[in-house]
Amino acid sequence: MKILVAVKRVIDYNVQIRVKEDGSGIVTDNVKMSTNPPDDNAIEEAVKIKEAGKATEVVAITVGEEKAQETVRKALAVGADRGIHVKVDGILEPLAVSKILQKIVDKEKPDLVFMGKQAIDDDCNQTGQMLSALLNWPQATFASKIDVKDKKLEVTREIDEGLETIEINVPSIVTCDLRLNEPRYASLPNIMKAKKKPIEEILASDLGVDISSRIEQLKVEEPPKRKAGIKVANVAELVQKLKNEAKVI
């Protein structure tokens, strides 16, 4: 069984996001970038399945600019066998990414496609679902537990009401939740070895898919500043203020 894992380069989760002064986007120059956190879980799970002898190959793929290759390199350092980098400049929407992934799936013919449940930059939570539709493959989203059973997967999903366990057929798409596992550290010798693993570079423009934007971005703004709070003398005053001023009760 072969697993394709999609990883995305995003602004590191510790970095405070800053909006460009002209409202055209966010500042990314010299900002620390990392792999989208749930994508790390997706890689970890794929590597674990391979280590358990249930998969034969783990291929990491990213779609993005030159430096996005760092995320593939990191995936290789924690156990992926080889990488694919689909090169494209600028920001792609989920539909465009899923069309690109569809092309790669046609070529690579994996049995499973893993990815994070959503990326922490645009929070779209769409790519896995769209890819599932394009391929007409079953999907299991928000996975917090995956059991590989022959030609089926048993997946526990994190849903609003609690946990839902479903069984889906292979081939399929799984999007991973942060609770799925604890990603391992890349050790220094493995980082060295990863430098020698192959990464295939493909130009997005060579794949023959329409990746143009469907959404026009009008403006990016910071959320309004929180106003200073006030101190109330007692519960009665609090209730009165909530009722009459805030009008929430």
Partner 1 sequence: MSRESMEYDVVIIGGGPSGLSTAIKLKQLDSSLNVCLLEKASEIGAHILSGNVFETRALDELIPNWRELNSPIKTKVTKEKFLFLGKTKSLSWPTWLLPSVQQNHKNYIISLANLCRWLAEQAETLGVEIFPGFPASEILYNEDGSVKGVITQDMGIDIDGNKKDSFEPGIELLGKVTVFAEGCRGHLGKQLIKKFELDKGKDPQQYGIGFKEIWEIDDKNHDEGLVMHTAGWPLDNSTYGGSFMYHAENKQVFLGYVIGLDYKNPHLSPYDEFQRFKTHPAIKKIIEGGKRISYGARALIEGGFQSLPKMYMPGALLVGCDAGTLNMPKIKGSHTAMKSGIIAAETINYHFKKGDNLSVYEKIFKESWLYKELYKARNVKPSFSWGLILGIIFTGIDQILFRGSLPFTLKHRHADHETLKPANQMPKIEYPKYDNVFTFDKTSSVYLTGTNHADNQPVHLKLKDPNLPINYTLEKYDEPAQRYCPAGVYEVQKENNENKFVINSQNCIHCKTCDIKEPSQNIMWVTPEGGGGPKYGNM
C-alpha pair distances (Å), 134 with each of 60, 70, 114: 20, 28, 15
The least CB distance from residue 67 to partner 1, in Å, is: 11
What is the identity of the amino acid at 94?
Answer: P
Please report how close the Cβ of residue 16 comes to partner 1 at its closest, in angstroms.
Answer: 6
CB-wise, 168 or 186, nearer to partner 1?
Answer: 186
Least separation in angstroms between residue 34's CB and partner 1 is 8
Q: What contacts 184, CB < 8 A, 6 or more positions away?
A: 44, 47, 78, 79
Determine the Cα–Cα distance for residues 143 and 118; give it in Å rounded to an integer: 12
CA atoms within 13 A on the CB side of 197: 25
Residues that bind partner 1 (CB under 8 A): 12, 14-16, 18, 21, 29-32, 34, 182-185, 187-189, 191-192
- Least Å distance, CB 78 to partner 1, is 10
In three-state secondary structure terms, 18 is coil
Cβ proximity to partner 1: between 21 and 161 the closer is 21
Give the Cβ contact number of residue 6 at 10 Å.
31
Query: In the complex, what is the shortest distance from the CB of residue 32 to partner 1, in angstroms, rounded to a whole number?
Result: 4
Q: Where are the beta strands (DSSP E) in the chain?
A: 2-6, 9-11, 33-35, 57-64, 82-87, 112-116, 139-149, 152-159, 162-169, 172-176, 199-203
Q: Which is nearer to partner 1, 30 or 234 (CB)?
A: 30
Q: How many C-alpha atoms does 152 have within 13 Å on its Cβ side?
A: 7
In this complex, which beta carbon is closest to partner 1, that of residue 187 or of residue 240?
187
Given the complex with partner 1, which of 159 and 192 has the nearer CB atom?
192
The CB-of-214 to partner 1 minimum distance in angstroms stands at 32
Closer CB to partner 1, 192 or 203, in the complex: 192
